Amino acid sequence: EDKVVQSPLSLVVHEGDTVTLNCSYEVTNFRSLLWYKQEKKAPTFLFMLTSSGIEKKSGRLSSILDKKELFSILNITATQTGDSAVYLCAVEDDYKLSFGAGTTVTVRA
């Protein structure tokens, strides 16, 4: 059975801080790893990672994948209150996504 573990489960930071979120996985047929931001109902797509060592960046967010050690990290620099959300990591096994429990990030002004 596919397994996706995220850490920490939650954290509270102040505006301007940098946060690092972790995601480790065990899957049978790895195809990709995806990060989503969930604020209300719908997860919003952030990144899709398929190759090790290639950093993906979008503004203050970046992510990288290590397929040898089976983990990924998501970094958020210069955090803002609008970054407060649940960040979900999902691993694609064939075409199906298995999700981690998520990391709840709270950014205080």
Partner 1 sequence: SAVISQKPSRDICQRGTSLTIQCQVDSQVTMMFWYRQQPGQSLTLIATANQGSEATYESGFVIDKFPISRPNLTFSTLTVSNMSPEDSSIYLCSVEDTGTGLNEQYFGPGTRLTVT
Residues near partner 1 (CB under 8 A): 32, 34, 36, 40-45, 48, 50, 88, 90, 92, 95-102
> Measured between alpha carbons, how far apart are the two ends of the chain, in Å?
41
- Minimum distance from residue 6 beta carbon to partner 1 (Å): 9
Q: Which is nearer to partner 1, 41 or 68 (CB)?
A: 41
d(CA 99, CA 93): 11
Residue 102 to residue 10: CA distance in whole angstroms? 8
Cβ of residue 16: shortest distance to partner 1, in angstroms? 29
